[in-house]
C-alpha cells in the first residue's frame, strides 16, 4: 500500500496487487475470551465472503427478529475478503432459531455465509473484544527482485514496521479528516458518524507524529522523555532515565516507544519526545484537530509507534504471486505491513 507516509526500511522492494479475488484477503479474528456457556446472548462464529460486518449484523437481526442494537461484534471486516469473526445476538428467554436458516451460498453475487460454531454467553460482544487477527494475503502481479523482497520480509520480521493507522480509518479518499474539521467548526453530524470522525482526527494526528519519527529514525528507539508502552497492553510508564534494563526490554519487544492519541491534558512524554510531538502537530490543520478533540472531551492516551507481525511467513505461488501469513494484535493494520514492502495496489479501486 502506498500511503504517502515515509517507510522505515527504504525504497519499495516490490509492486503488486491485492484483493484480485476475495480469497486473496483472508482474515480470522483471534478471540479475546471463551464463551461462558450460559446467558441471554448467543455467540456465533461466522465465515463470510462478499459481505461486510454491518451487512451480516442486519442479517442476524432479521434472522433473530431483534433490533440491530441487540447484535454485537468486536471488529469491522471488509466485504471484499473471506473473513471469520464472532457476533453476538441478545435472545433473553428465547431459544435461537435454526442456524441453518442463516447460511447462504450465492454464486451469482459471490456472497457466502457459514456458521462455524455457536454458544451462549453472558454479555453482548463489545467493540475491540478480540486478541487480534490472523491474515493470509496473496499479492498478485508481483514485480521486484525475489531476493530483495525476501530480504525485506526478513527485516520486517526482525525489526517490525511503523504502527501507522491504516487508510480504513480515514474513509473514502481520506475524507473523514476534512469532515472532522467541519464538525469541529459547527457542522452537525449523526452520533455514529461523530465517533468515526473523532477517531479519524486522532488517528491522523498520531500518523503525523509517527511520520516525523520515521523520518528522523526514532520510531523504534527511545527518545529523551519517552513514554513507554508495554507490548500487548495499553499500559504506559515513564518517562524515566535510559538504562541497560530499558534497552534490553526494547530489544526483546517487551516495550515500545509511543505517540499521542490526542485529547485534553498534557502528553505523557517529556523532553525531546514531547518537543518532537508538538512540532509535528504545530501546523494550522493539526492545531484545529487538537482543539476539536479537546473540546469533545477526549483525554490524552498513547499508542505504540512500533509493530512486529507475529509468525510472519511467506511462500511463492508460481512466478508472480506471493502469499504472506502473519498475525497482528487488535488495532493494528495489515496495510502497515504491506506499505513497508512496497507499492501494493488494491484491485478493488481498479
User: How many whole angstroms separate alpha carbon 169 and alpha carbon 71?
Assistant: 22
User: How many whole angstroms separate alpha carbon 62 and alpha carbon 245?
Assistant: 56
* The predicted structure's pLDDT at residue 80: 92
Q: Using 50, 70 and 90 to split pLDDT, how confident is the model at 209?
A: very high
12 C-beta neighbours (distance < 10 Å), count: 19
* The predicted structure's pLDDT at residue 128: 86
264 C-beta neighbours (distance < 10 Å), count: 12
Q: Is 24 a catalytic residue?
A: no
Q: In 82-108, which positions are buried (b, 16+ CB within 10 angstroms) versus exposed (e)?
A: bbbbbbbbbbeeeeeeebeebeeeeee
Does the structure show a pLDDT above 90 at 308?
Answer: yes
Quote the Cα angle for 237-238-241, to 5°: 145
Q: Using 50, 70 and 90 to split pLDDT, how confident is the model at 1?
A: low
Contact between 302 and 270 under an 8 Å Cβ cutoff? The reply is no
What domains are there in the chain, each with its CATH number? 14-22+132-158+309-349 (3.30.2350.20), 33-128 (3.30.2350.20), 162-307 (3.30.2340.10)
User: How many whole angstroms separate alpha carbon 47 and alpha carbon 68?
Assistant: 19
Query: For the chain, what is the mean pLDDT?
Result: 94
* The predicted structure's pLDDT at residue 174: 84
The residue annotated as part of the active site, out of 2, 24, 78, 313, is 78
Indicate the SS3 state at residue 96.
coil
User: How many whole angstroms separate alpha carbon 76 and alpha carbon 342?
Assistant: 25
φ, ψ (nearest 5 deg) of residue 76: -90, 135
* The predicted structure's pLDDT at residue 255: 97
DSSP of 205-259:
HHHHHHHHHHHHT-TTSPPTTPPEEETTS--EE------HHHHHHHHTTSEEEEE
Please list the residues that pair with 325 across neighbouring strands: 136, 313
Q: Using 50, 70 and 90 to split pLDDT, how confident is the model at 251?
A: very high
Average pLDDT over residues 300-311: 97
With 0-12 / 13-18 / 19 or more C-beta atoms within 10 angstroms meaning exposed / middle / buried, residue 120 is: middle
Indicate the SS3 state at residue 124.
coil
Q: Using 50, 70 and 90 to split pLDDT, how confident is the model at 348?
A: confident
User: How many whole angstroms separate alpha carbon 50 and alpha carbon 306?
Assistant: 32
* The predicted structure's pLDDT at residue 99: 87
Contact between 264 and 299 under an 8 Å Cβ cutoff? The reply is yes
Quote the Cα angle for 112-118-124, to 5°: 100
127 C-beta neighbours (distance < 10 Å), count: 12
User: Which region among 112-116, 171-175, 222-226, 256-260 has the lowest average model confidence (pLDDT)?
Assistant: 171-175
Q: Using 50, 70 and 90 to split pLDDT, how confident is the model at 172?
A: confident
Q: Using 50, 70 and 90 to split pLDDT, how confident is the model at 3?
A: low
Does the structure show a pLDDT above 90 at 152?
Answer: yes
Does the structure show a pLDDT above 80 at 41?
Answer: yes
Average pLDDT over residues 248-268: 97
What Å distances lie between residue 27 and 62, 98, 136, 260, 281, CA to CA?
A: 25, 26, 7, 28, 34
Average pLDDT over residues 163-178: 90
* The predicted structure's pLDDT at residue 78: 87
Supply the DSSP symbol for 264. B
* The predicted structure's pLDDT at residue 98: 87
* The predicted structure's pLDDT at residue 250: 97
Amino acid at each position: 500500500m502506498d500511503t504517502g507516509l515515509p517507510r522505515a526500511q527504504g525504497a519499495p522492494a516490490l509492486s503488486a496487487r491485492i484483493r484480485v479475488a476475495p480469497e486473496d484477503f483472508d482474515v480470522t479474528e483471534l478471540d479475546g475470551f471463551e464463551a461462558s456457556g450460559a446467558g441471554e446472548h448467543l455467540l456465533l462464529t461466522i465465515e463470510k465472503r462478499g459481505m461486510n460486518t454491518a451487512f451480516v449484523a442486519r442479517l442476524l437481526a432479521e434472522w433473530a427478529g431483534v433490533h440491530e442494537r441487540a447484535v454485537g461484534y468486536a471488529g469491522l471486516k471488509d466485504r471484499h475478503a473471506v473473513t471469520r469473526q464472532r457476533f453476538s445476538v441478545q435472545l433473553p428467554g428465547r431459544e435461537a432459531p435454526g442456524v441453518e436458516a442463516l447460511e447462504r451460498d450465492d454464486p451469482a453475487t459471490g456472497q457466502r455465509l457459514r456458521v462455524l460454531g455457536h454458544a451462549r454467553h453472558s454479555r453482548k460482544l463489545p467493540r475491540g473484544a478480540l486478541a487480534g487477527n490472523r491474515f493470509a494475503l496473496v499479492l498478485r502481479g508481483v514485480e521486484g527482485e525475489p531476493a530483495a523482497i525476501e530480504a525485506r520480509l526478513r527485516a520486517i520480521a526482525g525489526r517490525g514496521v511503523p504502527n501507522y493507522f491504516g487508510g480504513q480509518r480515514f474513509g473514502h479518499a481520506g475524507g473523514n479528516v476534512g469532515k472532522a474539521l467541519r464538525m469541529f467548526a459547527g457542522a452537525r453530524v449523526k452520533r455514529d458518524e461523530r465517533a468515526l470522525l473523532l477517531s479519524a482526527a486522532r488517528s491522523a494526528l498520531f500518523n503525523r507524529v509517527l511520520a516525523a519519527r520515521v523520518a528522523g529514525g526514532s520510531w523504534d528507539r527511545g527518545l529523551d522523555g519517552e513514554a513507554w508502552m508495554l507490548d500487548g497492553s495499553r499500559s504506559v510508564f515513564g518517562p524515566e532515565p535510559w538504562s541497560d534494563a530499558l534497552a534490553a526490554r526494547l530489544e526483546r519487544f517487551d516495550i515500545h516507544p509511543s505517540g499521542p492519541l490526542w485529547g485534553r491534558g498534557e502528553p505523557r512524554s517529556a523532553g525531546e519526545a514531547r518537543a518532537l510531538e508538538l512540532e509535528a502537530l504545530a501546523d494550522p490543520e493539526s492545531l484545529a484537530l487538537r482543539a476539536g478533540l479537546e473540546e469533545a472531551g477526549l483525554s490524552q492516551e498513547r499508542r505504540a509507534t512500533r509493530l512486529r507481525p507475529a509468525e510472519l511467513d511467506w511462500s511463492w505461488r508460481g512466478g508472480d504471486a506471493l502469499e504472506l501469513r502473519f498475525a497482528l494484535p487488535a488495532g493494528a493494520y495489515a496495510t502497515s505491513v504491506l506499505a513497508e514492502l512496497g507499492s501494493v495496489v488494491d484491485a478493488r479501486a481498479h
